[in-house]
């Protein structure tokens, strides 16, 4: 694997909740993924928000409080260093926690949005189309638009909502056009993100999975490192540095 990685001009990574697990952010399908007996799939939907915006915002407030305390772990930091080593190094992330950017990664495509941004559900003005809301905990649940008092919603992609075209097109293009693809910390169950590694494999790109557990991808990738991102990625970085 290391020879393929060293020859690579463009490296692309797809990350999921697993890369933030060692930053103490619960994954979606791990045993800590539930919140008050609700699964994220139940709450991260437009229907749940219409039915009970307060409950959905309680869920996001809980996650925001956890994420606010979270620090990038050695896995995030190793990817940020790799971005400086390779000519072209991109991260496509399913996560909304912003930890890749906090770790120093700059070329990050957030497929599912950013938990720190909100938008007015009435789309009432340019300023409230999309703006940051960092207060922890939220002063008001659910929060209302400062301009028109309509409900605010988190700027994340819910189940049943389409991924915005710009990040999705960029992710599709990168997944099929690179020299080395790493899929890190994802159960590869959520579409269309889960199809990205398959595009890489179909494009005959050397694909490596890093995950302590097997997934639906494990059988079809070129190599699987059965381990945690927080230890596997720093080891990979050390290996790379031997040849620099
Ligand atoms: C779409 C943002 C077109 C929000 C997220 C029925 C109706 C409507 C849609 C569908 C439907 N059936 C299927 C769909 C499609 C649906 C989907 O895929 N559903 C799944 C449940 C089957 N997808 C969508 O709706 C997408 N849009 O398809 O639009 C459309 C539109 C209408 C109708 C049809 C189609 C939008 C999906 C985006 C949802 N938003 N997040 C928020 O965060 O609040 S998804 C969210 O869950 C995450 O972003 C992520 O994508 C996913 C969680 O997956 P993972 O990241 O993989 O995390 P998970 O916990 O599952 O796994 C963690 C992994 O880490 C494990 O493998 C574990 O072993 C590993 N791990 C643990 N520790 C470590 C580790 N790895 C490394 N190191 C460690 N230390």
Verify whether residue 144 is a known catalytic residue: no
106/196 Cα distance (integer angstroms): 20
Among 76, 100, 112, 155, which one carries the catalytic annotation?
A: 112
pTM: 0.96
Residue 240 maps to which CATH number? 3.40.50.1220
Is the same domain home to 222 and 179? Answer: yes
Is the same domain home to 181 and 210? Answer: yes
Is the same domain home to 89 and 120? Answer: no
Q: Which of 156, 189, 213 is the last residue of a domain?
A: 156
Read off the pLDDT of residues 122-156 as tens digits, 9 standing for 90 and up.
999 999 999 999 999 999 999 999 999 999 999 99
Read off the pLDDT of residues 53-98 as tens digits, 9 standing for 90 and up.
999 999 999 999 999 999 999 999 999 999 999 999 999 999 999 9
Range of the domain at 33: 26-69+113-156
Element (H, E) at 117: strand 113-120
Distance of CA 30 to the CA centre of its chain: 16
Q: Helix H segments across 88-228?
A: 99-103, 165-176, 196-202
Residue 54 maps to which CATH number? 3.30.1600.10
Residue in 2, 1, 7, 3 with CA at minimum distance from that of residue 179: 7
* Ligand 1 atom index nearest CA of 190: 18
34 lines ligand 1 (CB under 6 A): no
Is the same domain home to 86 and 196? Answer: yes
153 lines ligand 1 (CB under 6 A): no
156 lines ligand 1 (CB under 6 A): yes
């Amino acid at each position: 694997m290391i020879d393929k990685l060293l020859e690579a001009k463009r490296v692309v990574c797809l990350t999921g909740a697993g890369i933030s697990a060692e930053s103490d952010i619960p994954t979606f399908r791990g045993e800590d993924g539930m919140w008050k007996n609700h699964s994220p799939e139940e709450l991260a939907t437009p229907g749940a928000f219409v039915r009970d915006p307060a409950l959905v915002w309680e869920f996001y407030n809980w996650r925001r409080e956890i994420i606010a305390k979270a620090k990038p772990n050695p896995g995030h930091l190793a990817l940020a260093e790799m971005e400086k080593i390779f000519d072209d190094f991109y991260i496509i992330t399913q996560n909304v926690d912003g930890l890749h950017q906090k770790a120093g990664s700059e070329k990050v495509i957030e497929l599912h949005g950013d938990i720190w941004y909100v938008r007015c559900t009435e789309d009432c003005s340019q300023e409230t189309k999309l703006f940051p809301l960092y207060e922890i905990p939220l002063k008001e649940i659910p929060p209302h638009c400062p301009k028109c008092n309509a409900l605010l919603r988190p700027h994340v992609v819910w189940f049943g909502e389409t991924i915005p075209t710009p990040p999705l097109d960029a992710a599709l293009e990168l997944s099929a056009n690179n020299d080395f693809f790493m899929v890190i910390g994802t159960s590869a169950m959520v579409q269309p993100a889960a199809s990205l590694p398959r595009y890489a494999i179909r494009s005959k790109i050397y694909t490596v999975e890093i995950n302590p557990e097997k997934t639906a991808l494990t059988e079809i990738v070129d190599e699987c490192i059965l381990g945690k991102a927080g230890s596997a990625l720093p080891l990979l970085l050390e290996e790379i540095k031997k040849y620099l």
